[in-house]
Amino acid sequence: MSLTTAVRTCFQKYGTFEGRARRSEFWWWMLFQTLVTVIVAMIGLGFVLASSAGNPDGQANGPLLVVGMIFYALALLIGLALLVPTYAVGCRRLHDRGMSGWLQLLVLVPCGNIVLLVFWVLGGSPGKNNYGEKTA
């Protein structure tokens, strides 16, 4: 599965926590959502840093600072908007292994994120499982 196909699939299944997701769909989505939020936040950081650059008194340039804060807010909103499809594809990825999507709550336990990462990296169960047919 390509990046564009994975992103399109995750947006089409925005809040779908049922079914299965292949590793490629999951990891392409994770790359996409990380890059989008980080790039927007870095643009904001650039404006914030530029707002105080070159000023001998260290005072920030108001308009550049405002633009930077807008980009920060935009990065936050994008991150929040992509939260549901991220949890949904994570749930479907666990389903591909024959596991419950509730295992994503492992992130709340110390070192649980490492266990969850291992589950996401491992291959899916062959053929049909309790969550449906293996996706193509």
The per-residue b/e assignment along 81-93, b for 16 or more CB within 10 angstroms, e otherwise, is: ebeebbebbbbbb
Summarize the confidence of residues 10-22 as an average pLDDT.
Answer: 93
Work out the percent of the chain whose per-residue pLDDT is above 90. 72
Window from 16-20, 44-48, 59-63, 70-74 with minimum mean pLDDT? 59-63
- For residue 136, the model assigns a pLDDT of 65
Q: Map out the domains of the chain as residue ranges.
A: 3-92
What single-letter amino acid sits at 41?
A
